[in-house]
């Protein structure tokens, strides 16, 4: 079997006494779209932050393409091809949409100790940045300052910035959070296009999206993986149904009370 | 000149006649013609005052680079005025009078100090960063107080201004004024190139959202440190000019209140704008002077006024002229 692109072994993170990531072990082969679901506070975002390198783990190992990256700093993980989007939009509000994406590009085109030439007149950055914006459907909004964009548009810029680095592993933290139905539909189409091309780890609450996109699904509760498998397996798993998809006990209670 | 102005003022050609542009152009014209006024009236005081203003403006431009564009609020920036000044003073006392030695030394020592302090302080942020830059500046202040050979607390008189052979005679007040003016314009131009370059966008991005910068692959620390060193070097040059201007240096030059003055100039003029520091450097001493003629307690008015600027006018005077309230 081919070596998985991402391999996590016994990854652990505690905040004080709270274990948010409890010895997580997971493998994601190249090209897979892997969804992580679970109730709020299950430790999904923490897992993404650990993988992106923003948080340091207290135990376990992360392998990326066969290389141990557990202690590699965040910016270097970006360099080797791990990109993330943020659940809470995290952009450069005073820059235009194009500036935002171009900056993301710039990070991956050599060092930035270039002090003299106008970076905004640099086709080497602007053209691919515009292409990345066009890909998420924002080409005509390129010169608008990000703080003036709608929430949905800002989410699209988030994705464009992540894509601009030409990642091999894309970590998407609730890309549709707070989007209207039309925007969600557009984003779903976009994520579908990416499928198969970029290996993706997706956190999403919208079950329709998850079951449409994911090749495999992992369910987390209180920092632990309680189930992992293809969508059919997960749909059928009794433990998952109880913990997440619909609480059986509370349904029973409701029946008794009713 | 025109493309530079376009870029510098961040405006399209059709909107060149904004109040901001008008004020900037008028201010530059007045500064350029000031020595003529002095020549006609024989009023040397104004020339001396404005030479000092131009020199402090270079310091403010330098502080604006790290504070306005980079979000690094250094509360010890006057220390570079001191380091640059003492480099000139100490070398002069030891018999090395050439400006071609003194000034590069002033710049190099300032840059080196910035490298050390930046390497330590830039690992922190916010209040901690402010306190560390302040603490280091105070340390240098007390080092200067302890330099008995160079006057200690009383300071050191410089008997000969930096020598540049036949190139330029700094004793000529008009020439010295124009030299300061030219260096100020050059430093504003330098900053305008820097902040729009790839390097500058990294610095500004880090100010706006450092976490995201790191996530998209920038090792922000080394860029911020480089920016900190460039600003230190530039302010060191201002220190060398200041020593030549006053023919005297003392620890008071780098007292923490001097650092506060520089911050006030930058905030008053407009954080993160190219000509803001110059506007602030001109306005602040004139405001102080004017108010002290009106009242015995000028700070009683100046203080609240600055507070209002900080709260309501994020773009300072420069932003107000542009019609921008919140930066």
Q: What is the pLDDT of residues A25-53, one digit of tens each?
A: 999 999 999 999 998 889 999 999 999 99
- The whole-angstrom separation of Cα B304 and Cα A172 is 47
Is any Cβ of chain A less than 8 angstroms from the Cβ of B216? yes
- The whole-angstrom separation of Cα B277 and Cα A12 is 50
Residue with tokens 């500004």: B204
- The whole-angstrom separation of Cα B181 and Cα B53 is 10
Mean pLDDT of chain A: 90
Is any Cβ of chain B less than 8 angstroms from the Cβ of A161? yes
Q: Which helix (H) or strand (E) holds B248?
A: strand B248-249
Task: Residue A143: count other Cβ atoms within 10 Å of its Cβ.
Answer: 9
CB contacts of A122 in chain B (<8 Å) are 198
3-class secondary structure, B193: helix
Most B CBs within 10 A among A115, A161, A166, hence the mutation to make, goes to A115
Residue with tokens 């914006």: A133
- The whole-angstrom separation of Cα A248 and Cα A236 is 13
**In this structure, are residues A30 and A5 in contact, taking their beta carbons and an 8 Å threshold?**
yes
Mean pLDDT of chain B: 91
* Nearest-by-Cβ selection for B216 from A99, A104, A119: A104
In tens, the pLDDT along B28-48 reads: 999 999 999 999 998 889 999
Interface of B with A in 169-198 (CB under 8 A): 193-194, 196-198
**In this structure, are residues A36 and A72 in contact, taking their beta carbons and an 8 Å threshold?**
no
Q: Average pLDDT of B36-64? A: 95
**Minimal Cα–Cα distance from B202 to chain A, Å?**
7
Q: Return the structure tokens found at B321.
A: 């002229």
Contact across the interface for B202 and A106, Cβ inside 8 Å: yes
Q: How many interchain CB pairs under 8 A, A with B?
A: 93
**Minimal Cα–Cα distance from A42 to chain B, Å?**
23
Is any Cβ of chain B less than 8 angstroms from the Cβ of A91? yes
Task: Residue A206: count other Cβ atoms within 10 Å of its Cβ.
Answer: 17
Angle at B79 between CA B75 and CA B85, to 5 degrees: 155
Whether the per-residue pLDDT at A64 is higher than 80: the answer is yes
Q: Using 50, 70 and 90 to split pLDDT, how confident is the model at B301?
A: confident
Contact across the interface for B219 and A94, Cβ inside 8 Å: no
**pTM, 2 dp:** 0.89
- The whole-angstrom separation of Cα A104 and Cα B212 is 9
Contact across the interface for B208 and A52, Cβ inside 8 Å: no
**Minimal Cα–Cα distance from B7 to chain A, Å?**
10
Is any Cβ of chain B less than 8 angstroms from the Cβ of A200? no
**Minimal Cα–Cα distance from B169 to chain A, Å?**
32
Whether the per-residue pLDDT at A255 is higher than 90: the answer is no
Does B310 or B2 have the greater pLDDT score?
B310
Contact across the interface for A92 and B218, Cβ inside 8 Å: no
**In this structure, are residues A183 and A152 in contact, taking their beta carbons and an 8 Å threshold?**
yes
Is any Cβ of chain B less than 8 angstroms from the Cβ of A253? no
Under 8 Å CB-to-CB from B198, ≥6 apart: which residues?
Answer: A106, A112, A114, A117, A119, A122
Most B CBs within 10 A among A73, A112, A113, A117, hence the mutation to make, goes to A112
Q: Average pLDDT of B10-14? A: 43
Contact across the interface for B197 and A99, Cβ inside 8 Å: no
Q: Using 50, 70 and 90 to split pLDDT, how confident is the model at A256?
A: low
For chain A, domains (ranges, CATH) are 1-81+168-183+194-258 (3.40.50.300), 90-166 (no CATH)
**Minimal Cα–Cα distance from B49 to chain A, Å?**
33
Alpha-helical (H) ranges within chain B are 2-9, 19-41, 44-64, 78-93, 99-121, 127-145, 173-196, 198-215, 220-246, 256-269, 276-294, 298-312, 316-321
Closest CA to B104 of B300, B240, B256: B240
Contact across the interface for B201 and A52, Cβ inside 8 Å: no
Whether the per-residue pLDDT at A177 is higher than 80: the answer is yes
Is any Cβ of chain A less than 8 angstroms from the Cβ of B119? no
Contact across the interface for B205 and A92, Cβ inside 8 Å: yes
Angle at B24 between CA B18 and CA B26, to 5 degrees: 100
Q: Report pLDDT for B14.
A: 45
- ipTM for this model: 0.86
Q: Return the structure tokens found at A142.
A: 């390129």
Whether the per-residue pLDDT at B186 is higher than 60: the answer is yes
- The whole-angstrom separation of Cα A73 and Cα A69 is 8
CA–CA distance from B5 to each of A133, B59, B88, B198 (Å)?
A: 31, 21, 34, 20
CA dihedral B82, B87, B89, B95 (to 10 degrees): 170
**In this structure, are residues B59 and B280 in contact, taking their beta carbons and an 8 Å threshold?**
no
**Minimal Cα–Cα distance from A138 to chain B, Å?**
20
Most B CBs within 10 A among A50, A91, A92, hence the mutation to make, goes to A92
**In this structure, are residues A62 and A16 in contact, taking their beta carbons and an 8 Å threshold?**
no
Find the distance separating the first CA and the last CA of chain A, reported in whole Å. Answer: 53
Contact across the interface for B201 and A86, Cβ inside 8 Å: no
Whether the per-residue pLDDT at A248 is higher than 50: the answer is no
Closest CA to B279 of B2, B4, B25, B18: B25
Closest CA to A58 of A20, A4, A84: A20
- The whole-angstrom separation of Cα A18 and Cα A175 is 26
**In this structure, are residues B77 and B59 in contact, taking their beta carbons and an 8 Å threshold?**
yes
- The whole-angstrom separation of Cα B252 and Cα A122 is 46
**In this structure, are residues A153 and A141 in contact, taking their beta carbons and an 8 Å threshold?**
yes
Under 8 Å CB-to-CB from A195, ≥6 apart: which residues?
Answer: A33, A213
**Minimal Cα–Cα distance from B217 to chain A, Å?**
4
CA dihedral A197, A203, A209, A214 (to 10 degrees): 50
CB contacts of A120 in chain B (<8 Å) are 196, 201
Is any Cβ of chain B less than 8 angstroms from the Cβ of A92? yes
- The whole-angstrom separation of Cα B20 and Cα B18 is 5
Q: Report pLDDT for B313.
A: 80
Nearest-by-CA chain A residue for B219: A75
Whether the per-residue pLDDT at B50 is higher than 80: the answer is yes
Interface of B with A in 223-242 (CB under 8 A): 223, 226
Structure letter (DSSP) for residue B253? G
CB contacts of A106 in chain B (<8 Å) are 198, 201-202
Strands A33-37 and A224-229: unpaired
Percentage of chain A modeled with pLDDT above 90 = 72
Q: Average pLDDT of B157-179? A: 94
Q: Report pLDDT for B16.
A: 64
Beta strands in chain A (DSSP E): 6-15, 18-28, 33-37, 59-64, 67-68, 82-84, 169-173, 199-203, 216-221, 224-229
**In this structure, are residues B86 and B80 in contact, taking their beta carbons and an 8 Å threshold?**
no
- Facing residues of A145 across strands? A96
Under 8 Å CB-to-CB from B327, ≥6 apart: which residues?
Answer: B270, B271, B272, B314, B315, B319
Lowest mean pLDDT among A203-212, A235-244, B141-150: A235-244
CB contacts of A108 in chain B (<8 Å) are 217
Q: Return the structure tokens found at A145.
A: 């300052």
- The whole-angstrom separation of Cα A202 and Cα A205 is 10
Is any Cβ of chain A less than 8 angstroms from the Cβ of B6? no
Q: Average pLDDT of B170-185? A: 96
CB contacts of B213 in chain A (<8 Å) are 103, 107
Structure letter (DSSP) for residue A4? P
Lowest mean pLDDT among A18-22, B63-67, B101-105, B313-317: B313-317
């Amino acid at each position: 079997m081919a070596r998985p692109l991402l391999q996590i072994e016994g990854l652990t993170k505690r905040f004080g006494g709270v274990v948010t990531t409890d010895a997580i072990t997971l493998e994601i082969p190249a090209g897979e779209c892997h969804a992580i679901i679970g109730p709020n506070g299950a430790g999904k975002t923490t897992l993404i932050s650990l993988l992106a390198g923003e948080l340091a783990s207290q135990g376990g190992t992360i392998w990326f393409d066969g290389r141990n990256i557990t202690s590699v700093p965040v910016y270097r993980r970006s360099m080797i091809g791990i990109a993330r989007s943020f659940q809470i939009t995290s952009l450069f509000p005073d820059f235009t949409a194009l500036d935002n994406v171009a900056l993301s590009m710039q990070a991956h085109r050599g060092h930035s100790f270039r002090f003299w030439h106008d970076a905004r007149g640099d086709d080497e950055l602007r053209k691919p940045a515009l292409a990345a914006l066009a890909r998420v459907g924002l080409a005509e909004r390129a010169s608008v300052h990000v703080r003036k964009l709608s929430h949905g548009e800002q989410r699209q810029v988030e994705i464009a910035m992540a894509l601009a680095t030409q990642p091999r592993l894309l970590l998407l933290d609730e890309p549709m959070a707070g989007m209207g139905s039309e925007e969600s539909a557009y984003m779903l189409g976009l994520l579908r296009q990416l499928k198969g091309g970029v290996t993706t780890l997706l956190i999403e609450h919208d079950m329709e999206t998850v079951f449409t996109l994911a090749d495999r699904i992992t369910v987390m509760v209180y920092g632990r993986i309680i189930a992992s498998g293809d969508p059919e397996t997960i749909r059928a798993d009794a433990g998952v149904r109880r913990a997440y998809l619909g609480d059986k006990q509370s349904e029973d209670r409701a029946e008794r009370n009713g | 000149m025109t493309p530079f102005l376009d870029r510098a003022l961040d405006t399209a050609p059709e909107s060149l006649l904004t109040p901001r542009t008008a004020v900037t152009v008028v201010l530059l014209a007045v500064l350029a013609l000031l020595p003529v006024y002095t020549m006609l009236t024989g009023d040397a005081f104004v020339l001396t005052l404005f030479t000092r203003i131009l020199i402090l403006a270079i310091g403010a431009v330098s502080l604006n680079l790290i504070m306005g564009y980079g979000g690094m609020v250094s509360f010890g920036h006057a220390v570079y005025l001191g380091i640059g000044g003492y480099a000139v003073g100490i070398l002069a006392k030891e018999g090395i009078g050439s400006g071609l030695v003194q000034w590069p030394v002033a710049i190099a020592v300032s840059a080196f100090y910035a490298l050390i302090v930046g390497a330590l302080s830039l690992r922190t942020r916010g209040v901690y960063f402010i306190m560390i830059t302040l603490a280091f500046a105070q340390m240098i202040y007390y080092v200067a107080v302890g330099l008995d050979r160079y006057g200690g607390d009383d300071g050191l008189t410089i008997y000969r201004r930096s020598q540049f052979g036949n190139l330029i005679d700094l004793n000529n007040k008009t020439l010295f004024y124009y030299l300061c003016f030219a260096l100020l314009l050059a430093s504003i131009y330098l900053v305008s190139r820097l902040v729009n370059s790839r390097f500058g966008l990294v610095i500004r991005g880090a100010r706006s959202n450092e976490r995201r910068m790191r996530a998209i692959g920038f090792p922000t620390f080394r860029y911020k440190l480089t920016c900190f060193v460039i600003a230190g070097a530039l302010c060191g040059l201002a220190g060398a000019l200041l020593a030549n201007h006053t023919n005297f240096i003392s620890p008071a030059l780098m007292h923490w209140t001097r650092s506060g003055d520089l911050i006030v100039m930058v905030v008053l003029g407009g954080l993160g704008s190219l000509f803001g520091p110059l506007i602030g450097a001109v306005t602040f001493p004139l405001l102080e002077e004017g108010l002290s003629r009106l009242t015995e307690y000028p700070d009683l008015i100046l203080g609240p006024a600055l507070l209002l600027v900080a709260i309501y006018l994020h773009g300072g005077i420069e932003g107000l002229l542009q019609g921008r309230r919140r930066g």
